[in-house]
Amino acid sequence: MSDRIIPLVDARSIPLPRVGPLRPGERPADTQARPLRDLRISVTDRCNFRCTYCMPKDVFGPDYKFLPRSEVLSFEEITRLARVFKELGTEKIRLTGGEPLLRRDIERLIGMLAGVGGLDLTLTTNGSVLARKARSLRDAGLQRVTVSLDSLDDTVFRAMNDVDFPVARVLEGIDAAAAAGLAPIKVNMVVQRGVNDHTVVEMARRFKGTGHIVRFIEFMDVGSSNGWRMDDVVPSSEIVRRIGAELPLEPVDANYYGEVAERWRYRDGSGEIGVISSVTQAFCRTCTRARLSTDGALYTCLFATSGYDLRSLLRGGAADAEIGAAVARIWSVRADRYSEIRTAETAKLRKVEMSYIGG
């Protein structure tokens, strides 16, 4: 048992809300009436980047011990949980990491998840190997990709990924994904004051008119190792003002309930951008996302300090109905709203690292 997670014990020993399988059409909601619509699955805790806001080298250096293979969920276990979550009302699955494309035979997992049916299947990647994998990912059943790219300035980007990886190769991956039909492509940029914020307009201009959607993300206090300070946050309102001053924007309604990005479109009709304002404009009240770690822990918030062990249920002989009942119980007592109550003190809490549960 990993010491990173809190054991759920046995599903039969906790006060579950139901006995046996859920009734057809029955869906759990948390204490804030939020449904369980989205599941983000970390398929590996390993990454080939050492981004300073996610896996800084002073923590994730050469001596860092990643999970042994025996603790990592198998493709069959992941697919089984996907079916359970679908029965609870989950509509979208996003594969994350670490860097998910480092997981061997990831295409086989995508094919298995596509076989579940009725799921919106996406993946977030740093783009480092996307150019050679885009076609096989699409052929396996992946529908879309989100690519992390924190600057078009090569010097800035190499410094932020801290492994001297060039912008050009990420752009090649984006082009390959577009050619393969993994669209619309979203490009995520984590913005830090004094680090890369001077390149936001360049990023917007580069993808304007391409059909790709750049999303500018406020630097967040995810985990405990990125040295987060409020002074390093560039509010999304400031980002919109900077871009809008050169490329006029107007607001757009959300696509769906719980969408994390606030949408803005170019007034000339050449596309849109998004801003994710977890720090300055918290959207906890519409959060419908759960996160499954590489070793099978369920986290109900990106900023969680602990998770619930589903792996023991999987490997301990629990039936799907028992696992579903356990998940429903976990979700039904969920009261997370970290971004609404964030303070300088909460930022110091020892929270789960982003590389362990994905973004």
pLDDT number for residue 157: 97
In a domain, 4, yes or no: no
Average pLDDT over residues 159-169: 97
pLDDT band at 63 (very low <50, low <70, confident <90, very high): confident
**Location of structure tokens 């050679």:** 132
Q: Mean pLDDT across the chain, nearest whole number? A: 87
In a domain, 46, yes or no: yes
Evaluate whether residue 272 is within a structural domain.
yes
Whether the bond between 166 and the residue before it is cis, its omega within 30 degrees of 0, is no
Q: How far is residue 233's CA from residue 239's CA, in Å, rounded to a whole number?
A: 11
Query: Coil, strand, or helix at residue 348?
Result: helix
Say which CATH number the domain at 150 has.
Answer: 3.20.20.70
Asked whether residue 321 is assigned to any structural domain, the reply reads yes
User: Alpha carbon of 164 to those of 95, 155, 325, 331: distances in Å?
Assistant: 25, 9, 46, 41
* Domains in the chain, number: 1
Structure tokens belonging to residue 209 = 């008119």
- The 10s digit of each residue's pLDDT in 306-334 is 889 999 999 999 999 999 999 999 999 88
Question: 38: domain range?
Answer: 11-357
Domain assignment of residue 3, yes or no: no
pLDDT confidence of 18, banded at 50, 70, 90? very low
CA gap 22, 85 in Å, rounded: 12
Asked if the structure places residue 1 within a domain, the reply is no
Structure token digits, residue 187: 């490009």
pLDDT at residue 11, as a whole number: 39
pLDDT at residue 340 tops 90 = no
pLDDT at 3: 45
80 closest CA partner among 333, 351, 324, 350: 324
Q: Are 92 and 116 in contact (CB under 8 A)?
A: no
Instruction: Indicate whether 6 belongs to any domain.
Output: no
| Residue 112 located in a structural domain | yes
